[in-house]
């Protein structure tokens, strides 16, 4: 079995988290530092790896998902860097990218993985609701 380089593991994990995020984001952050001052996406690798592990993606699935997610991340970066669009336009375009990405990745997942992903999204949605209720 071939060992992946750390940056490849991060990309694959990013793909898995991106997939999970595709339909669960009510709003999409378009740029800027997080609450702890971290730059956009700085902690993404750890979360992505956890997501890939939870879904138990095979090496073949990871290999298929990686280029899809790399393309989506390039599109998102270009969108974040675009100064001509309003925040709402960026959010709408990011949602479209997420939906297109999910449509490409869903057939790669097994039925059990899709079900697990749906459960993870639901849990994250509940968690997000609790965060917003505290404000």
Whether 28 and 95 have beta carbons less than 8 Å apart is answered as yes
Give domain status of residue 127, yes or no: no
Give domain status of residue 16, yes or no: no
Give domain status of residue 51, yes or no: yes
Of residues 45 and 1, more confidence is placed in 45
Give domain status of residue 97, yes or no: yes
What tens digit of pLDDT does each residue of 86-108 get? 999 999 999 999 999 999 999 99
Q: Which two tokens stand for residue 43?
A: 């902690």
Number of domains, the chain: 1
Q: What is the pLDDT of residue 36?
A: 47
What tens digit of pLDDT does each residue of 22-80 get? 433 333 333 344 444 445 554 556 666 787 888 999 999 989 998 998 999 999 999 99
Structural domain boundaries enclosing 66: 43-109
Mean pLDDT to the nearest integer, 5-32: 46
Whether 88 and 53 have beta carbons less than 8 Å apart is answered as no
Give domain status of residue 73, yes or no: yes
User: Residues with Cβ < 8 Å from 60, sequence gap 6 or more?
Assistant: none
């Amino acid at each position: 079995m071939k060992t992946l380089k750390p940056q490849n593991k991060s990309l694959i994990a990013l793909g898995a988290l991106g997939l999970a995020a595709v339909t669960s984001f009510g709003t999409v952050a378009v740029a800027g530092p997080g609450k702890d001052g971290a730059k956009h996406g700085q902690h993404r690798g750890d979360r992505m790896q956890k997501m890939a592990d939870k879904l138990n993606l095979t090496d073949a699935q990871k290999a298929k998902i990686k280029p899809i997610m790399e393309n989506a991340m390039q599109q998102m970066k270009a969108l974040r860097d675009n100064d001509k669009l309003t925040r709402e336009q960026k959010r709408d375009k990011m949602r479209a990218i997420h939906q297109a990405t999910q449509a490409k990745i869903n057939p790669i997942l097994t039925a059990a993985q899709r079900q697990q992903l749906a459960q993870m999204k639901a849990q994250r949605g509940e968690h997000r609701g609790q965060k917003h209720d505290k404000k």
